[in-house]
Amino acid sequence: MSPVNRQVPLLLFALLCLPSLGLRFNLQAGGKKCLKDYSPGGVITKGEYSASKHDVLTSTILILDSRGHLLYKREGFENGSFSFSTEDYELVDMCFEVRAKHPGQHPDSAEIFLDIKQGAEAKRFDLVSTFFCLFRSVGKCREPETG
């Protein structure tokens, strides 16, 4: 077996073991798709989303808790991010809707991407340390290390 042929199974194994990086789906014009996710109480949930750029489509994201309270809403997006925290353990609805910008148009579909993180995974510790340094009155702060 050649060295290249031996590396193919290792590469496939590595790709299969990587964690999922998000969810991507197509949504027809006039369509709505709601995803449910559990949000532990007092834990930050953070997400990034995007919709394929389209001249005749507009996209909306709406996030509601189990009691129907609005946690986040944005219309006409190409990309963006959200964060929220709930008081109690909640089942949260994340709904995406795609529609034509003008009546009578019949566009195809939009590709939607969603990446959700919770808890420590959602925190950016480099920004937290920088924020802390801005408000600390004594001493010098170091720049966050990269690498």
Instruction: Name the phi and psi angles at 42, rounded to 5.
Output: 75, 10
Contact 56, 81 (CB under 8 A): no
More confident residue, 2 or 70: 70
Fold of 19-135: Jelly Rolls (2.60.120)
Lowest mean pLDDT among 21-30, 57-66, 137-146: 137-146
pLDDT range class, residue 18, cuts 50, 70, 90? very low
Q: Give the model's pLDDT for residue 127.
A: 52
pLDDT range class, residue 19, cuts 50, 70, 90? very low
The token pair at 4 is 């290249």
Contact 114, 51 (CB under 8 A): no
Mean predicted confidence (pLDDT) in 40-60: 88
Mean predicted confidence (pLDDT) in 17-46: 81
Q: To which residue do tokens 């496939």 refer?
A: 12
Q: Average per-residue pLDDT in the chain? A: 76
pLDDT digits (tens, 9 = 90+) for 70-111: 999 999 999 999 998 888 898 999 999 998 887 776 667 889
pLDDT range class, residue 120, cuts 50, 70, 90? low
Convert 57-78 to b/e letters by CB count within 10 Å (16 or more is b).
Answer: bbbbbbbbbeeeeebbeeeeee
Q: Give the model's pLDDT for residue 92.
A: 93
Cα dist from 48 to 30, 68, 117, 129, whole Å: 23, 22, 9, 22
